[in-house]
Amino acid sequence: MSVTILAKREFSAKEVVAAQEAPGKTVGRTAGSWVHDLCALRKVITLCPLCTHKFNPGRLGYRKEKEFPFVQAKCDGCQTFDVKCSAYFFEETYHEVRSTAADRRAEKYKQK
Amino acid sequence: MQFGYLLGGGTPTIKKYKMAAGHAAGIIVIVPAANATGLSTSTTTAWTESVGLTLDAITAEGSPVAYSTTQGAVEHLQSVIINPDAVLRALLVGSAVNAVLETRTIGTASSNGLTAIGTTGDTDPSSPDMDEGSVWYASGANGGASRVITSTTTTLTVTVIMPFAANRIGDRYHTIDYAVGNIAGVTMGTNLLNVRGDIASTGAVAGVVDLELNGAGNSFLHLVQRDHAFASS
């Protein structure tokens, strides 16, 4: 009779976090409908150079991140990891999570 | 908090993660707790094994929603900037519930500029101890100037080594227990977005990269995460 040894594996923090990454759109779902759903939830949208021209940020209340022309991310359109993605933030919540040089400059001249 | 820039320059890396709870935008999320699915929230005093800063919230029709554990409900995800060298800009506040920083007033003038002596009613700068932190003026001849504090006393006095110009009674100033290079940690307000400047530096493992010292309600710390899941250790 064979003996099976069960050894509990210790996962590193990196492995645990990697397993938590969202898989993206489900099979059969069109990219446009997935991106529009993300927009309705005010998520950050990341699109690769091949997909970005199909997205009109202004119509959906989004703004393109310009201080960082590129971000490394998985494209929400074609689900490919690309080091030259563009990031789009929901306009109303942009300043909750982003501080630009222009913001910091303006803060210096506020009434103290 | 806001994502400001990267210490090494370069390109931010953004990933969408499953979340173990509905987190707000602009807070630190950490490696999942045992038996949790998705990233967990940080606390006011702990950023252990942080993953990064959330860039959006869990919302439905624009309003934040609670994370659902109902079978069949949709899975929630949030975008996180995961660069270990991301510099985060956090507003300095004067209480756990985000009051503005205390504005102190010079009660006894100092001609040599080596001390700032407050007015009766100001909080004792030695408890919580502001020693090795920063003092800066918001009005008077020293308006906009800041120095590192080298000692504090119970008599409302903070001392600096590099002198200010002579101050005058009534000049307004602020103190915090943070200076550039401080690695003693930060304590966040209850919303996990702002850093408490009213208490001594301790808590979540963060390093102070820079200070933006403006007024009571618009001064900021620039922080890096010092216990990051993707940084080698």
The beta-strand segments (E) located in B11-139 are: 13-18, 28-30, 40-41, 50-54, 59-60, 63-64, 77-81, 86-93, 104-105, 115-117, 134-137
- Which pLDDT value is given to residue B79? 94
CB contact under 8 Å between B12 and A110, yes or no, is: no
User: Could you tell me which chain B residue has the CA closest to the CA of A67?
Assistant: B5
Residue B66 in any domain: the answer is yes
The rounded distance, in Å, linking the Cα atoms of B193 and B112 is: 39
Is B230 within 8 Å of B82 (Cβ atoms)? yes
Cβ contacts of B214 on chain A, cutoff 8 Å? 107-108, 110, 112
HEC string for B196-209 = ECCCCCCCECEEEE
**A1 touching chain B per CB within 8 A:** no
Give me the interface pTM, i.e. the ipTM. 0.87
Residue B202 in any domain: the answer is no
Q: Is A102 helix (H, G, I), strand (E, B) or coil?
A: helix
Query: Nearest-CA distance from A3 to chain B in Å?
Result: 29
Tell me the sheet residues that pair with B211.
B221
Residue B73 in any domain: the answer is yes
| Unique residue bearing structure tokens 């099979």 | A27
Residue B14 in any domain: the answer is yes
- pLDDT tens track of chain A, all 112 residues? 788 888 888 888 888 888 888 888 888 889 999 999 889 888 999 999 999 999 999 999 999 999 999 999 999 999 999 999 999 999 999 999 999 998 888 887 775 5
The rounded distance, in Å, linking the Cα atoms of A110 and A25 is: 44
- Which pLDDT value is given to residue B115? 96
| Unique residue bearing structure tokens 């990196």 | A14
- Which pLDDT value is given to residue A23? 82
Dihedral sign of CA atoms B21, B218, B129, B155 in order = negative
Number of domains in chain B: 1
Residue B50 in any domain: the answer is yes
The beta-strand segments (E) located in B58-133 are: 59-60, 63-64, 77-81, 86-93, 104-105, 115-117
Residue B95 in any domain: the answer is no
CB contact under 8 Å between B13 and A73, yes or no, is: yes
CB contact under 8 Å between A112 and B143, yes or no, is: yes
Residue B26 in any domain: the answer is yes
CB contact under 8 Å between B60 and A24, yes or no, is: no
Is B52 within 8 Å of B82 (Cβ atoms)? yes
CB-nearest partner of A108 from B4, B16, B214: B214
Distance of CA A63 to the CA centre of its chain: 14
CB-nearest partner of B3 from A13, A98, A110: A98
**B60 touching chain A per CB within 8 A:** yes
- Which pLDDT value is given to residue A108? 77
- Positions in chain B short of pLDDT 70: 59-69, 72-75, 232-233
- Which pLDDT value is given to residue B61? 53
Residue B105 in any domain: the answer is no
Mutate to test the interface with B, among A26, A37, A41 (most CBs of B within 10 A): A41
**Host domain of residue B44:** 7-85
CB contact under 8 Å between A17 and B230, yes or no, is: yes
Rounded to two decimals, the pTM is 0.90
The rounded distance, in Å, linking the Cα atoms of A42 and B57 is: 8
What's phi and psi for B195, nearest 5 deg? -100, 135
CB contact under 8 Å between A17 and B13, yes or no, is: no
Q: Strand B86-93 relative to strand B195-196: parallel, antiparallel, unpaired? A: parallel
